[in-house]
Amino acid sequence: MIFQMDSIGDIIRKKREEKGMLLRQLAAMVEVDSAILSKIERGERKARREQIINIAKALELDEKRMLIEFLSENIAYEIIDEDSATDVLRVAESKVKYFRKNK
Amino acid sequence: MIFQMDSIGDIIRKKREEKGMLLRQLAAMVEVDSAILSKIERGERKARREQIINIAKALELDEKRMLIEFLSENIAYEIIDEDSATDVLRVAESKVKYFRKNK
DNA sequence: CATACATTTGACAAATAATGTCAAGAATGA
DNA sequence: TCATTCTTGACATTATTTGTCAAATGTATG
C-alpha cells in the first residue's frame, strides 16, 4: 500500500503536534473539554460534526476532506463486523442515487 | 434502469400483501405494534435490526438480503444530503478494509 | 347512510445512546 | 521531587430512538 491510512484522530493529533499545540490549547480554541479531545484523538470517542469542522479550522486542515474522513469513519464502524460490508456500500450507493432522483 | 429500486418498507409491504396478511397479523407475529409496522412499511420510521430479521422470517424473505437493505438504507440516509456522498462511500470501503487488517 | 374493520396519525412516555463534566491517576521531563 | 500534560473512569446531562395508545381516517359492504 502506498499510503498510510490514518484515522481521523490520528490526523488531528499529528497536525496538532506539528503545530506544537497542547491538547488544552486546541481544546480551548474549539470549545471542547480536553478530556474529550484526548478521546477523540485516540479514537475512544466519536466527535460531532461541528467539532470536526471547528478542529479543522483551528488546525488549518481541509474542511471538506475532514468531513469525508468523519462521515466515512462513522460508516466504516457501522459495518465493520458485517461480512457483507462491501455489498452494503454498493447498495447504499445505488440507494443514494435513486432516492435523490425520486425525492 | 432495468430494476425497480424498492425501499425496505416497500419490500415488506409488497410481500405482506402478496401473502394476504393484515398489518396486525404480521405485527403480532413479530411482536411489534401495528402502528410501528405501518410506519416502517411507509418509511416513516426506521426499523431495528432485530425487527427486520423477525419480519424476514415471518414473511419468508431472504434474511441476508434484508439485512443488506437495512444497513445500506441507513447509510444512504446518513449521506443523502452530502455532496461528497460517493467519495464518502469509497473512503468508507478503504477504512473497513484497513481497520479490519489492523484490529 | 351506517356499520365493521384496517390502517394511519400524532401526542406522549419510556428506554437507550450520545455527549459533557470533573477529579483523580499516570506519564513525562526538568 | 515538582510541575505539567495527558488519560481514565464515574457520573450527570441531554438528545435521540423506540414504544404505547387512542383518536382520526380510510375502505368496503349491507
DSSP chain B: --S----HHHHHHHHHHHTT--HHHHHHHTT--HHHHHHHHTTSSPPPHHHHHHHHHHHT--HHHHHHHHHHHHHHHHHTT-TTHHHHHHHHHHHHHHHHHT-
pLDDT of res. A4: 74
* Cβ atoms within 10 Å, residue B27: 20
CA angle B29, B54, B60 (to 5 degrees): 85
Does residue B4 carry a pLDDT above 60? yes
- The C1' atom of C10 and the CA atom of A61 lie apart, in whole Å, by 45
User: Above 60 in pLDDT, residue B69?
Assistant: yes
Q: Which three cell numbers stand for residue A24?
A: 488544552
**How far: B24 CA to D29 C1' (Å)?**
21
Locate the domains of chain B by residue range: 8-101
The single residue listed with the C-alpha cell 455489498 is A87
Nucleotide nearest to B36 (CA to C1'): D19
> Residues in chain A, how many?
103
Query: Does residue B16 contact residue B59 with C-beta atoms inside 8 Å?
Result: yes
Q: Which nucleotides of D are covered by protein (CB under 7 A)?
A: 5-9, 17-22
Q: Residue range B12-32: average pLDDT?
A: 97
Q: Is the CB of A35 under 7 A from strand C?
A: yes
* CB-CB contact of A89 with B72 (8 Å): yes
Q: Which long-range contacts (CB under 8 A, 24 or more apart) does B21-24 make?
A: B21/B59
Percent of chain B past pLDDT 90, that is, above it, reads 92
Find out whether A63 and A86 touch, Cβ atoms under 8 Å: no
Q: Is the pLDDT of residue B56 over 80?
A: yes
Chain B nearest-CA distance from A89, in A, is 6
Q: What is the predicted pLDDT for the residue at B1?
A: 59
Average pLDDT over residues B41-68: 98
Per CATH, domain A8-101 is 3.40.50.300 = no
What distance lies between CA B49 and its chain's CA centroid? Answer: 8
B53 has a chain A CB within 8 A of its CB: no
Tell me the mean pLDDT in the region B12-16: 98
Q: pLDDT (tens digit, 0 to 9) for every residue of chain A, 103 residues total?
A: 556 789 999 999 999 999 999 999 999 999 999 999 999 999 999 999 999 999 999 999 999 999 999 999 999 999 999 999 999 999 999 999 999 988 6
Tens of pLDDT, residues A64-75? 999 999 999 999
